[in-house]
């Protein structure tokens, strides 16, 4: 890397870290009850001006912000990992049915098996995410052309639609499941506490470590299976490791905040643009960490805007992310179709 590239990379990292810190501070300060930034800083350093401010910040806002940081990073890394493993720029846990599989399994666990705790139904989320991803991949491989990006995306949309219909059918038969599902299904950081974060943190940590360990092999895989094998990569092991990371990252995130569609689609593309500008290139040793930083930037921004536009109520963060990601997905599909003509 040239000296100019190192300077741009340093500037990029510093800018993203500063942006994330500013958004985290705003996430703690803004909401139905807005708290002055100086009071937020004083409270974080143990000098709260009053009991109400202390309770709102430590019991509600800080856990919510940390949840946005961790689950956002998880979904961003899962999206980048999926796009690398499938060599499909349209891949995303929400589009390829992984989030829908986790959601359906969670609803079944609540309505059918009476599971009430997060630690109980997170295991169902892992199983649902794994089964859905396998089904989508098998459907996408049908036909002579194999698993093309557009076919995988269409298979994912079909499986997601089917699972969403089944999920709706299940929740309509169980009032408790319906009450949980209505708010959670749109993707939200609200109504969660520090205990929820600590329960999913081990799964997210293991998933992130597995994803980062895949990065060198993903660079080889981008050159094609034959080249990667000739470089000594064990393709089956790499894919197994990657799928395990995706299931852990997506399943745990969906279990606690619900399905946030398009976050894992948009963020890796933004990461590639920034990496290209910094002179890093398509190196997954950088793309995965960049995605892990950019995703919480987008998720926290959506959460803050959702809290402010309809106070004292709020719009779920997943709705605003989908509002951004939907047109982005359509533009990508159109570009792929034009390229294939």
Tell the residue number behind the tokens 């909401």, with chain if given.
31
What is the rounded end-to-end Cα distance, in angstroms, of the chain? Answer: 37
* Closest by CA position to 248, among listed 146, 127, 166, 135: 127
- What local confidence, expressed as pLDDT, does residue 6 receive? 74
Q: The tokens 């092991």 sit on which residue?
A: 237
Structure tokens at 227: 């080249």
Q: 87-120 burial, b if ≥16 CB within 10 A, otherwise e?
A: ebbbbbbbbbbbbbbbbbbbbbbbbeeebeebee
Asked whether 262 and 325 are in contact (CB, 8 A), the reply is yes
In terms of DSSP H, where are the helices of 258-313? Answer: 263-278, 284-308
Up-side HSE of residue 186: CA atoms within 13 Å toward CB? Answer: 17
* pLDDT at 60 (0 to 100): 92
Specify the pLDDT at position 187.
84
Token pair of 211 as six digits: 């994803």
Taking only the tens of pLDDT, the chain with its 341 residues reads 566 667 888 888 889 999 999 999 999 999 888 999 999 999 999 888 888 899 999 999 999 999 999 999 999 999 999 999 888 887 888 878 899 999 899 888 888 888 878 888 899 999 999 999 889 888 887 876 666 667 777 888 899 899 989 988 888 887 767 776 776 777 889 888 888 889 999 999 999 999 999 999 998 888 887 888 887 888 888 888 998 999 999 999 998 998 888 899 899 999 998 988 888 888 899 999 999 999 999 999 999 999 998 788 888 898 899 888 878 777 776 765 544 43
Using CA atoms, how far apart are residues 196 and 118, in angstroms rounded to an integer? 7
Cis amide leading into 312 (omega within 30)? yes
- Two tokens at 257? 């905040």
* CA pair distance 316, 40, nearest whole angstrom: 23
- How high is the pLDDT of residue 340? 44
Q: Could you tell me the domains of the chain?
A: 3-190+198-340 (1.10.3470.10)
The predicted structure's pLDDT at residue 3: 63
* Contact status, residue 257 vs residue 67, Cβ threshold 8 Å: yes
Both tokens of residue 283?
């190196």
CA distance 269 to 329: 11
Structure tokens at 39: 């009071």
Burial of 198 (0-12, 13-18, 19+ CB in 10 A): exposed
Task: Tell me the backbone φ, ψ of residue 323, rounded to 5 degrees.
Answer: -65, -35
Q: Name the pTM for this structure.
A: 0.90
Count CB-CB contacts under 10 A for residue 51.
8
pLDDT at 207: 96
Q: Are 193 and 56 in contact (CB under 8 A)?
A: no
CA distance 275 to 284: 10
Q: What separation in angstroms does the CA of 122 have from each of 192, 199, 210, 214?
A: 15, 9, 19, 24
């Amino acid at each position: 890397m040239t000296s100019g590239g190192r300077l741009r990379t340093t500037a990029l990292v510093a800018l993203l870290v500063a942006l994330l810190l500013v958004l985290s501070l705003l996430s703690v300060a803004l909401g139905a009850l807005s708290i002055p930034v100086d009071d937020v800083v004083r409270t974080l350093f143990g000098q709260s001006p009053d009991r109400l401010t202390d309770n709102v910040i430590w019991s509600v806002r800080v856990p919510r912000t940390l949840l946005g940081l961790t689950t956002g990073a998880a979904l961003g890394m899962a999206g980048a990992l999926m796009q690398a493993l499938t060599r499909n720029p349209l891949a995303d846990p929400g589009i390829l049915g992984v989030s829908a599989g986790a959601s359906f399994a969670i609803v079944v666990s609540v309505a059918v098996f009476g599971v009430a705790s997060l630690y109980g139904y997170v295991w169902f989320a892992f199983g649902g995410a794994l089964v859905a991803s396998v089904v989508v991949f098998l459907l996408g491989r049908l036909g002579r052309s194999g698993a093309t990006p557009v076919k995988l995306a269409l298979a994912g949309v079909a499986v997601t639609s089917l699972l969403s219909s089944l999920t709706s059918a299940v929740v309509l038969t169980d009032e408790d499941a319906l009450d949980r599902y209505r708010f959670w299904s749109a993707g939200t950081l609200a109504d969660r506490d520090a205990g929820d974060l600590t329960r999913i943190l081990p799964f997210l940590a293991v998933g992130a470590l597995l994803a980062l360990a895949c990065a060198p092999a993903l660079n080889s895989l981008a050159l094609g299976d034959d080249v990667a094998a000739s470089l000594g990569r064990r393709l089956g092991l790499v894919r197994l490791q990657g799928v395990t990371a995706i299931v852990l990252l997506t399943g745990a995130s969906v279990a606690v905040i619900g399905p946030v569609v398009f976050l894992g689609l948009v963020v890796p593309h933004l990461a590639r643009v920034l990496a290209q500008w910094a002179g890093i290139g398509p190196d997954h040793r950088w793309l995965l960490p960049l995605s892990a930083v950019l995703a919480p930037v987008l998720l926290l921004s959506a959460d803050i805007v959702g809290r402010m536009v309809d106070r004292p109520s709020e719009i779920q963060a997943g709705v605003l992310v989908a509002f951004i990601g939907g047109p982005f997905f359509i533009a990508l599909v159109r570009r792929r179709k034009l390229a294939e003509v």
